[in-house]
Amino acid sequence: MTQPGLRGFTRANLFRMRQFYEVYRGDEIVAPLVRQLPWSHNMMVLGQCKRPEERAFYLRMAIQEKWSRRELERQLKGALFAEYQTQLPDKALLQAKLQAFYALDAARTASM
């Protein structure tokens, strides 16, 4: 670059900028989140999270909990997303229980 005052355009940084663009360009949900965090947070999430839902989770949590870079790193190493997913109920089981409940309720109402 020949523009005075512009810095940081190393080969590695240009690669990261391109990667950042390619990952988030079509994501209407996550794109607004990345604008709310510093570049270092985004690079950490981008480098350590492979799935879009995992990236979205860490970006939301970093914003909501106002995580520092160090705290975000700690949460990524601690696999908070994996722990969070194991605590979620099985959707199919939950849906089956709801259907059974409503079927029972409909049977009760019909017998009245």
Task: Tell me the C-alpha distance between 97 and 95, whole Å.
Answer: 5
Q: What is the pLDDT of residues 69-103, one digit of tens each?
A: 999 999 999 988 888 877 766 666 656 666 665 56
Which of the pair, 4 or 110, is modelled with greater confidence?
Answer: 4
Quote the mean pLDDT of the chain.
Answer: 82
Express each pLDDT in 25-41 by its tens digit. 888 888 888 899 999 99
Residue with the bigger pLDDT between 43 and 83: it is 43
Our separate counts of H helices and E strands in the chain read 7, 0
H or E segment at 84?
A: helix 80-87
Q: How confident is the model at residue 13 (pLDDT cuts 50, 70, 90)?
A: confident
Q: Could you tell me the pTM of the whole model?
A: 0.69
Q: What are phi and psi of 25, to 5 degrees?
A: -60, -35
The whole-number pLDDT of residue 86 equals 77
